[in-house]
Amino acid sequence: MSVQKTFLSAATTGDTTTIENAYLQDKTILAAKDADGRTALHLAALHKDVKILELLLNYGIEPSATDNQGQTALHIAAHQSSLAVVELLLKRGANWSIRDHDGNTALSYAYQQYSVDVLSCFLQYTPACPSEIPGGLTPEIVLRSSASRKWTPLQISVNAHGR
């Protein structure tokens, strides 16, 4: 198995020792991607491994790198309603407004999942002014709506994409 595959595999299994050793041998390993264009950060987010995410971010991995679908680790975390991962990525500078190839931001995925905790987390890191967000649908607007209301995909698409 190549060093890059071993490094990426370690991100999925939580193997900090392998990640540390690979990074110490070659700092450019942080740019390694799998066949889907996912970095170790994407894979750690997919597996909700905060410890690996922190390690990679401390090493300087790009928090907003995109995969072949245009998604960041934050897109993955928001889609999975993983509060700990979303919060860590936002605290460490992940760009919440990047659109994937389907036109969705991480915030759009948080709306789709309607996780109040995740939306509240986004509220801390996104602009309060609706004019700063295409379509004007902010986390604050969603959270002020009825707590039992679930946004439909059409509403999310219209509001998040401004169409």
pLDDT of amino acid 122: 86
Evaluate if residue 141 carries a pLDDT over 80.
Answer: no
What confidence tens digit (pLDDT) does each residue in 86-109 have?
A: 999 999 999 988 999 998 889 888
Judge whether 160 lies within some domain.
Answer: no
The model's pLDDT over 35-76, given as tens digits with 9 standing for 90+, comes to 999 999 999 999 999 999 999 999 999 999 999 999 999 999
Nearest-angstrom CA–CA distance, 22 and 1: 13
CATH of the domain at 58: 1.25.40.20
Whose structure tokens read 């936002």? Answer: 90
Does residue 37 belong to any structural domain of this protein? yes
pLDDT given for residue 115 in this prediction: 82
Measure CA 65 to chain center. 10
Task: Judge whether 154 lies within some domain.
Answer: no
Residue 149: inside a domain, yes or no?
A: no
160 pLDDT above the threshold of 90: no
48: which DSSP letter?
T
Q: What is the mean pLDDT of residues 5-26?
A: 97
Which positions ≥6 away from 144 have C-beta within 8 Å? none
Residue 81 exposure: Cα atoms within 13 Å on the Cβ side: 7
151 inside domain: no
* Helical segments of 28-150, H only: 40-46, 50-59, 73-79, 83-91, 106-113, 116-125, 139-144
Please state whether the predicted TM-score (pTM) of the whole model is above 0.75.
Answer: yes
Q: Which structural domain range is residue 112 located in? A: 3-144
Cα separation, 92 vs 24, whole angstroms: 22
What is the average per-residue pLDDT within 118-136?
A: 66
Torsion of CA 102, 103, 105, 109, to 10 degrees: -50
Residue 161 maps to a domain: no
Q: What's the total number of domains in the chain?
A: 1
At residue 100, φ and ψ (nearest 5 deg) are: -80, -175
More confident call, 117 vs 37? 37
Query: What confidence score (pLDDT) does residue 132 get?
Result: 42
